[in-house]
Structure 1
Amino acid sequence: MGNQMDKLSHLSYAEVPTVDPNGMDTEEGPRIGVSYIFSNDDDEMEEVCTVDGSDKDPNKEEKQYDPRDEVECAVYYRDECIYEKSVKSANLEVYSPENLLNKCKAGDLVEFVATGQFPHWAVYVGDFQVVHLHRAELKNSFLTDASQGRRCRIVNDLYKFKALGPDMVVQNAMEQVGVKDRELSWRNSEGFAAWCRFGKRELKMGGEIRIGKQPYRLKIFMSEKHSHVLEFQSLEDMIMEKRRNDHLGRTAVLKELATHFCSVEQRKSEEPGAD
C-alpha cells in the first residue's frame, strides 16, 4: 500500500453507531465513535469545487471570510489536548496577505481561509514566499499568490506539539518542493505544513497503524455548555474530519448534528418497549 490510501466517503452521522457517553465529557451529551468519517480532501478540490461539489463560477466573486462561521473545536490524544481553536483566543484574527507579510517569520505556519472552502495551509520560508501543497504538488510560491485572494493568519499555536527550530522547519519544507502525485506523503495542505513544523510522522499518510483503538477525540463546541465528541484511530483521520467541518462552516455542522440527534431519538422511540 505504501503511502497511498483509499479515499473514503463521508458517512452521515445517522449512519454511524452511537455509544454510551462514558469517559471524557460525560456531562455534555452523547458522542459518536468513528474511525472513518471524512470526505475526500485534496487541494485540487479546494480550488475548483464549492461546498456542494459543483464547479465554481469563475465570474462569481468568492465569499469573504466570516469569523462567525468558524467551527470551534479541540483535539485530544487520550487525555492530552493537542489542538485547540477558540474564538476567545487571538489566533483567529485574520489579515490581508499584504498585511500578514509584515508579521511572518521563517518557519511560521500560515492558514488561508474563506467561507465555503477548505482552509489552505502553507509554510512561510522567508523572502515573501511559502511552500504548500497545491493541486497534488508541493510548490514554492509567493504568499500573495498562494492566498488567491483569501484572508490569512499565522497558526503556529493551534497544534500544541513542540515545534522544531525555524531553520529545520524551512529545511523540511524546501526539501519537499517538486514532490507530487504518487510520491506525496500527505493528503492535504494542513498535514504537510504541520509536519514541517513539528516533524511528527503521525501527520503523514499511514503514519500510524490502525489497530482498532480510537485514541484521538475531536470535541466540537456547539455552545458554551454543549459539545459533541468524535473518536478516531489516527491523527490523519481526525484532521480530515476537522477540515471537512471547517469547509462546511459552523452553521452547517450544527445543522448536521441536530439532524443526527433527531434521527437517534426517532429510532429510540420506535424501538419495541419504548415509552
Structure 2
Amino acid sequence: MAQAEGGYYVPHQSSWPIIGSVGVTALVVGIALYLEGIGAGPWVLGAGLLITLWMVVGWFGDVVREGLRGLYSDQVDRSLRWGMIFFIFSEVMLFAAFFGALFYARVLSVPWLSGEDPATSRLIWDSVALTWPTAGPANAAMEWRPMGPWPLPTINTLILLTSGVTLTAAHHALKDGNRQKLVGFMWATIALGVLFIGLQAYEYYEAYAHLNLRLETGIYGSTFFMLTGFHGMHVLIGTLMLGVIAVRCMKGHFRPESHFGFEATAWYWHFVDVVWLGLYIFVYIL
C-alpha cells in the first residue's frame, strides 16, 4: 500500500487523480450544456457531480486512514500545509477575477458608456445614461430592483463572523484537550453554516420573486449571482468539511499536538469569511 523511502512517505499508486479529472471535466461540461439549454446538460452535470463526490470521499478516506496509521512524518505534514496554502491562494485568485469583473464593469465600462468621453460614447449609443447598478440601456427593458444590505445580507454577515468565533473556540478546546467543548463548538459552527446557506437561498427567492433580479438582469444580475453564488458554493463545501471534521473530533482522531486536518478546514472557513466581508461591502453596500 505505501512505503517510506529515506524517511519520506511515498503513497501507493492511486486511481483517484484520473477519476477526479473525469468527474470535474464532466461537471464543467454539464454546466456549460445546461447554460446553453442543451437537454443532455443536467444528465452530464449529475454524472460529473456523482463521480467527483465519489473521488472526494474515496481519496480523503485514504488520506485519513493513512494519517491514523502514523504514516505521515513531519516533512509530509509540511508538504500538506504548503499544499493547502497554495489551494487557498488559487481560491483567492478565483475571487480576485470575479471582483475584477465587478470593478471593470462598475468603474470603467459603465462610466465610459454613459458619456464620460462623449466623443467615444456617441460611436456606440446616442443619449445613453447608465448609473450603477444597471442592467444595460433602458435597464434591459425590465423593471427590477437591486439587492440591498438589509436585512438578509447583514444577518448573514453576523452569522459568518460568529461562525469564525465558534470555530476558533473549538480550536482552542482541541489544543486544551477538551473534547466535549470541542465537539459542541464544532456543531455550533456547522449549524451557523447551514443557517447561512438557508438564508442565502431565501435571499435568492426574494430576488427572483419580488425584486425581479435574475441572472439575466444585465451586468448587475450576472455579477451579483456570480459572486454570491460561487461564495455560497464555498460555504456549502466548507460546511461539509466541518461536518467531516466534527465526526472525526467525536472519534478522537486529533491530538493537541497533531491536528492538521482540523487546521486546514479552519483556514478554508476563515478564508470564506473574509471573502464574504468583501462581498458585503462591494456588492451590497457600495
Fold conserved between structures, TM > 0.5: no
More helix by share: 2
Give TM class, smaller chain.
under 0.3
More strand by share: 1
- The structure number with the bigger radius of gyration is 2
TM-score (norm 2): 0.22
TM-score (norm 1): 0.23
